[in-house]
Amino acid sequence: MHTTMTSLLAADTPTVMTPTTSHLTIEAVTKRFGSFTALDGISLTINEGEFVCFLGPSGCGKTTLLRTIAGLAQQTAGTLIQRGEDISSLPPQARDFGIVFQSYALFPNLTVFNNVAYGLRNRRVERSHIHARVNELLALVNLTGSEKKYPAALSGGQQQRVALARALATEPGLLLLDEPLSALDARVRGHLRSQIKALQARLGVTTIMVTHDQEEALTMADRIVVMNHGVIEQVGTPAEIYHQPASAFVASFIGSMNFLEVTAQGDNQALLGTTSCACLSHTLKVGQAAQLAIRPETVALSRQAGALNGEVIGIEFLGPFQRVTLRLTDADQTLIADVPSRDSTDLCLYQGQVLGIHLPAEAARLYPAGSSQQ
């Protein structure tokens, strides 16, 4: 489904894609470098028009997976199907994608116009057509007027916008973004993040972005693929990944999380010191060492003593909320609670204060002990 840039610019109507149509199916892809396994049987379906982020710590295999999709690395085993075609053994030039790398990778000796026109010239597109298309693309990335400049005369953010225009020039079915924002400073990064997201939604081009920045993934992706040690830990919407982490690794990698050492009990309970705490249903054995994961913003504090209590040992003012560190009175463990600033007035917080702690059962998840290490 190739949408022309002209029609999009003229009508300004977003492309409606059927969300369940597969664009790319990755089946049991393994990649080994010598005896080292960088990707271990990855299977994943990416739908038409979706914005998917591969997220994970350094070395988890996300770039290798992106390079395998592009044909820049050859998988040791497994299959790649793009729009029904087996592309597993095709060279990069025979695959249908545009790519933007972390380092701008523009041709320094070519003007902005010629950088964007590069792929079109290679395809022997007619001159007048190239002219119209490059102008359209530069308008899309807000760089009209920069046609004659050379990359060295542009800021990092502008260079990445040129790289984006160049990647989109041939109207690829798939846009691959390899940490496109990580070389930019925070302000430019935030701005370009929303620009890329808006452009992607407008063009409806299936997009895969590699990032190690959880905020980038949470704000941009329709679905996030969390990777660790060459395997997929979880695939889900940003809300699913944040609120229902499938493993302790995902819980620890995304957002702030308390991990309390507990012992699993029956009937959705866990024993924290000598205090019984309700939690979400779990499959751990009764008596098994476990960790109870709970986000700081879900912990409720009260001036009245409760079943679980803690002494305030740290208060940090963070604008909209205060981050309170407590040492549990019943167990030698600390817990962080993020208290909205307006509620903190009622608590009259001070160091040494003993507060009641409520851990809402619906926000408390049990994982096997020792499984959150990255």
Ligand X SMILES: Nc1ncnc2c1ncn2[C@@H]1O[C@H](COP(=O)(O)OP(=O)(O)OP(=O)(O)O)[C@@H](O)[C@H]1O
**Footprint on this chain of ligand X (rule: CB under 6 A):** 33, 36, 38, 56, 58-64, 212
Smallest gap from Cβ 251 to ligand X, in A, equals 19
Q: Which residue of this chain has its Cβ atom nearest to ligand X in the complex? A: 63
Instruction: Determine if residue 364 is left, alpha or beta; phi over 0 gives left, psi from -120 to 50 gives alpha, anything else beta.
Output: beta
Nearest approach in angstroms of CB 38 to ligand X is 4
Residue among 61 and 245 whose Cβ is closer to ligand X:
61
CA distance 18 to 150: 40
Is 274 exposed, middle or buried, given 0-12, 13-18 or 19+ CB atoms closer than 10 A? exposed
Q: Report, in Å, the least distance between residue 306 CB and ligand X.
A: 43
Q: How far is the C-alpha of 339 from the C-alpha of 355, rounded, in Å?
A: 13
In angstroms, give the least distance from the CB of 173 to ligand X. 23
Query: Could you tell me the smallest distance in angstroms from the CB atom of residue 56 to ligand X?
Result: 6
DSSP helix, strand, coil percent of the chain (3-state; round to 5) = 30, 35, 40
Question: DSSP string of 10-65?
Answer: HH--PPP--TTSEEEEEEEEEEEETTEEEEEEEEEEEETT-EEEEE-STTSSHHHH
Q: Which is nearer to ligand X, 213 or 330 (CB)?
A: 213
Q: How far is the CB of 212 from ligand X (least distance, A)?
A: 5
Given the complex with ligand X, which of 44 and 143 has the nearer CB atom? 44
- Is the CB of 20 or the CB of 58 nearer to ligand X? 58
Nearer to ligand X by C-beta: 57 or 368? 57
3-class DSSP state of 286: coil
Of 38 and 293, nearer to ligand X (C-beta) is 38
- H or E element in which residue 140 lies: helix 127-140
CA distances from 106 to 91, 158, 211 (A): 22, 11, 20
Shortest spacing between CB 69 and ligand X, in angstroms:
12
Is residue 363 within 8 A of residue 294, CB to CB? The reply is yes
Pick between residue 60 and residue 134 the one whose CB is nearest to ligand X.
60
How far apart are alpha carbons 72 and 52 in whole angstroms?
Answer: 19
